[in-house]
């Protein structure tokens, strides 16, 4: 899963426009142009597509944390030079203030069963003996769970009206 895919999904899930995206970068003390943002959001086959690098993606996620949770008074963390799926998951968890149970619920809603121990292994340092690498499929399911929670995918349910001759039944009356 590329960083561009993650960026596009975050934009869709939280309904961010170009100006919102620019503001998120500004929250991490970094300026980007609308052209850069548009190039990052294009599909690979489109002309003008530009791959977002690890540093730019880390800056975006740091800005997302600042935008959602507020700025820390300490100096801002330097963006990571190399960004893994585990780091993306961690930064999204921090930005959205999600607890382990929240993440497990999001994953269950997508049909993925995960234990609390497996989840905590994703947030350990890479050298730890219980560290587990976050695979693309897990990150996709996590983003899909966020989409289900934060963006209403289902059309509103329309209750069918019965034919005119059967409307005398109390069952059809709305409460």
The whole-number pLDDT of residue 174 equals 36
Mean pLDDT of 56-81: 90
Per-residue model confidence as pLDDT tens digits over 118-147? 999 999 999 999 999 999 999 999 999 999
Mean pLDDT taken over the chain: 86
- Whether 100 shows a pLDDT value over 70: the answer reads yes
DSSP string, the chain: --HHHHHHHHHHHTT--HHHHHHHHHHTT----HHHHHHHHS-TTSTT--PPPHHHHHHHHHHHHHHHH---SSPPPPPPSS--HHHHHHHHHHHTT--HHHHHHHHHHTT----HHHHHHHTS-TTSTT-----HHHHHHHHHHHHHHHS--SPPP-PPPPPGGGTTSGGGS--
Whole-number Å distance between alpha carbons of 55 and 83:
8
Q: What is the pLDDT of residue 152?
A: 62
Q: Which residue would you say has higher pLDDT here, 83 or 74?
A: 83
User: Please, which residues have CB within 8 angstroms of residue 76's CB and are 6 or more apart in sequence?
Assistant: 28, 29, 62, 66
- Decide if pLDDT at 25 tops 60: yes
State residue 154's pLDDT score: 52
Q: Given this model, what pLDDT does residue 114 score?
A: 86
Predicted confidence band at 16 (pLDDT cuts at 50, 70, 90)?
Answer: very high
Tell me which of 161 and 45 has the higher pLDDT: 45
For the chain, what are the domain ranges? 1-83, 84-152
Q: What pLDDT is attached to residue 74?
A: 82
Q: Are 122 and 106 in contact (CB under 8 A)?
A: no
Distance CA 175, CA 173 (A): 6
> Is residue 161 over pLDDT 70?
no
Q: How far is CA 59 from CA 10, 54, 156, 158, in A?
A: 14, 9, 37, 43
């Amino acid at each position: 899963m590329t960083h561009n895919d993650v960026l596009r999904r975050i934009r869709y899930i939280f309904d961010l426009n170009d100006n919102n995206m620019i503001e998120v970068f500004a929250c991490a003390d970094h300026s980007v142009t609308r052209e850069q943002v548009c190039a990052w959001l294009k599909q690979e086959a489109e002309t003008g597509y530009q791959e977002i690098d690890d540093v730019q993606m880390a800056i975006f996620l740091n800005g997302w944390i600042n935008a959602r949770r507020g700025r820390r008074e300490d100096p801002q963390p330097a963006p990571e030079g190399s960004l893994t799926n585990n780091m993306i998951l961690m930064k999204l968890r921090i930005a959205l203030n999600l607890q382990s149970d929240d993440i497990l619920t999001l994953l269950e809603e997508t049909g993925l069963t995960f234990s609390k121990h497996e989840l905590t292994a994703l947030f350990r340092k890479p050298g730890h003996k219980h560290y587990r690498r976050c695979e693309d499929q897990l990150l996709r399911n996590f983003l899909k769970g966020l989409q289900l929670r934060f963006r209403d995918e289902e059309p509103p349910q329309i209750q069918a009206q019965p034919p005119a001759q059967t409307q005398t039944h109390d069952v059809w009356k709305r409460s």
